Amino acid sequence: MSIVKIKGLTFSFSRKEEPVINDFSFSMQKGEIVGILGQSGSGKSTLLRLISGLEMPMKGTIIIAGTTVVSESVFIHPEERGVGMVFQDYALFPHMTVKDNILFGLTRLPRKERKSRVDEMLELVQMEEFYKRYPHELSGGQQQRIALARALAPKPNVLLMDEPFSNLDADLKESIRDDLGVILKKANMTCIMVTHDRHDVEAICDYSITLGQSNVSNGLNRVKLKTIN
């Protein structure tokens, strides 16, 4: 079963302008990591905003884990979609410790399960000893790991990442990128990653999709990068 299924997605910021996303169709299986490439302005971030529910399409359907989250007659709000997000700037709460940042998204979990989930996430990203620190006391790479732990803690059906390496030094980026790939595979997380850097995609993605200049994508430009085990 596809975990993410998008059909005929079309979106424009204004009725007078050409659609930014035009008749876009695409599907993903559980545990796949897909890279979204494309020139600046090709609609990469907009596609993530449509999947997460921050924008409403003009046409098309999105199905996540068997539930239609958007169609002509349905619009499920972002917090109900089971979608996690990691932003360029990580968006950690500066006044909260690492532990509280991860706890933030776990309000639906019974109280006694929350602590064990936080511990599990800290172990996954290998940051157990940093739980009392504040974001400003962490390096860029460590902040990214905590942002990832926070996004994965509620067990989303799909994780969306928008340029997750753009704030990192070139030297650091390579090792952090490899670590991220390992963490995502260990969690069997389905992930859509937007980047402008083909090397990011080659390093950790199973497939890439390039949003074209014509802004038309029908899923046929899906390029397989690795054989999935």
Ligand X SMILES: Nc1ncnc2c1ncn2[C@@H]1O[C@H](COP(=O)(O)OP(=O)(O)OP(=O)(O)O)[C@@H](O)[C@H]1O
> Would you count residue 195 as binding ligand X (CB under 6 A)?
no
**Nearer to ligand X (CB atom), residue 40 or residue 188:** 40
| Least distance (Å) between residue 36 CB and ligand X | 8
Name which of 85 and 103 has its Cβ closer to ligand X: 85
Decide if residue 35 touches ligand X (CB under 6 A): no
CB of 97 to ligand X, least distance (A): 31
Q: Shortest distance, CB of residue 103 to ligand X, whole angstroms?
A: 31
Site for ligand X in 39-98 (CB under 6 A): 40-46
Which of 153, 152, 131 is CA-nearest to residue 142?
131
Phi, psi of 86 (to 5 degrees): -120, 120
DSSP assigned state of 123: H
Nearest approach in angstroms of CB 41 to ligand X is: 4
Are the CB atoms for 54 and 27 separated by under 8 Å? no
Judged by beta carbon, residue 86 or residue 102, the one nearer ligand X is 86
Nearest to 125 by CA among 76, 68, 189, 77: 189
| DSSP-derived secondary structure for 120-162 | HHHHHTT-GGGTT--GGGS-HHHHHHHHHHHHHTT--SEEEEE
Q: Does 5 bind ligand X (CB under 6 A)?
A: no
2, 190 Cβ separation under 8 angstroms: no
Q: Alpha carbon 23 to chain centroid distance?
A: 21
Q: Name residues contacting ligand X, limited to 13-32 (CB under 6 A).
A: 13, 20
Q: Please report, as ranges, the residues that interact with ligand X according to CB under 6 A.
A: 13, 20, 38, 40-46, 196
